[in-house]
Amino acid sequence: MTARQKHPKDAKAPKILVIEDDRLFSDIYAAKFAEEGFEVLLSSDGEDGMRKLVAEKPDIVLLDIVLPKVTGLEMLEQVRAHADPAVRDVPVIVVTNLNQETYMEKMRAFGVKAYFVKANVVFSQVLERIHEVLEGKH
């Protein structure tokens, strides 16, 4: 079942913020999320991503770790320490090239809902996890 089927036209589309500096990756994911009925916001660095997160308060964030200006790890520290619960408690799914156990441990400590390595994941797996997280949120 797609997000479009789950969210009829009179319902609010879930908003996803994709924070990713690989333009090809973010463009592909943005197009696929839009096809699934999501409202998609894009950011190419952690500093801009944090600004958009605070301003837009998305339902979920797809986050890379290796980012310019502010890394994904630094951004997670800022998010989890934020005063606004809509920012602090936003579900985060990490999709990155880093496959090191130390990063995965840090992500768990920050309450990341899933940690995917780009080379080992397909879009449908990420989408399925996003639906699971959003359904559990409501």
* pLDDT score, position 63: 95
Note if the pTM is more than 0.85. yes
pLDDT band at 102 (very low <50, low <70, confident <90, very high): confident
Q: Is the pLDDT of residue 137 over 60?
A: no
* pLDDT score, position 48: 96
Model confidence pLDDT, tens digit, residues 36-95: 999 999 999 999 999 999 999 999 999 999 999 999 999 999 999 999 999 999 999 999
Q: Are 61 and 94 in contact (CB under 8 A)?
A: no
Tokens 């879930």 sit on residue: 14
Q: Is the pLDDT of residue 7 over 50?
A: no
Q: Is the pLDDT of residue 5 over 60?
A: no
* pLDDT score, position 104: 75
Q: Is the pLDDT of residue 133 over 70?
A: yes
**What are the phi and psi torsion angles at 72 (to 5°)?**
-60, -35
